[in-house]
Amino acid sequence: MVNSTPMVPVGNELDGRVSRARRLRESRRAAVLKVARQIFSRKGYHATSIHDLIESADIARGTFYLYFESKRAIFDELLDGLVTTLQAQVRRIEVGPDAPAPVDQLNATVDRVLATLFDNREMARILLREAVGIDTDFDRKLSDFYGRIDAMIVSALNTGRQIGLVRPCDPQVVARSILGSIKEVVQWAFVEQDPMHTDIKHMGREMIAYILRGCLT
């Protein structure tokens, strides 16, 4: 998938002097994260117990707490990874003599976001459907995340209005509409449908066409 960056932290062991132990530890950790991702994705946060996690990862209870501080912490880590990656895909629309056409910029961002979500289907499921109601902190974190994306869309719409690209409208309502379209389409395609049978390219093009017609002059 184009432009999507890996979520696994690259770490600082690229200097060649990595201890075998460190690498082993990381791979073990990653294995637990992997099964946790699947189970959280399938059952949600509350319905997933530490027992589920360690049974599937085939490790002992204590081992889990060797790698992760708490159930909440592993869930955080899983989600934070995607949120960070996702945020990196969203770029503010630049406007200027040598900037690409705004439409192309939006296009590129949507492409990147879709690719990232596809590459992280399981976490997308959690981010889009399950991550609400875990606790107040978590809700705020999610709210902030979507709030930042919303702010970017609003800013893009305002910029677009100034250069006569965007029709007169309430940027707040339209921004939330756009955000909602993306969230729902992605959830439907990657979470409820079989993601492997989805033509993401096509989906992206259709979505952008709909969104652009909705707000352009």
Name the residues that contact DNA, by CB under 7 A.
21, 24-25, 28, 48-51, 59-67, 70-72
Interaction residues for its own copies, span 60-79 (CB under 8 A): none
Alpha-helical segments (H) within 48-197: 50-57, 61-67, 71-89, 102-119, 121-125, 136-162, 171-186
CB of residue 3 to DNA, shortest distance in Å: 34
Asked whether the beta carbons of 4 and 119 are under 8 A apart, the reply is: yes
Amino acid at 56: S
3-state DSSP assignment of residue 2 = coil
Asked whether the beta carbons of 149 and 181 are under 8 A apart, the reply is: no
Please choose, from the candidates 148, 176, 32, the residue with its C-alpha nearest in 3D space to the C-alpha of residue 90. 148
75 binds, among its own copies, DNA, none (CB under 5 to 8 A by kind): none
CB of residue 7 to its own copies, shortest distance in Å: 21
- Using rule CB under 8 A, residue 25 touches its own copies: no
**Residues at the contact surface with its own copies, assessed by CB under 8 A:** 43-47, 129-130, 132-136, 139, 143, 150, 167, 169-170, 173-174, 176-185, 188-189, 192, 202-203, 206-207, 209-211, 213-215
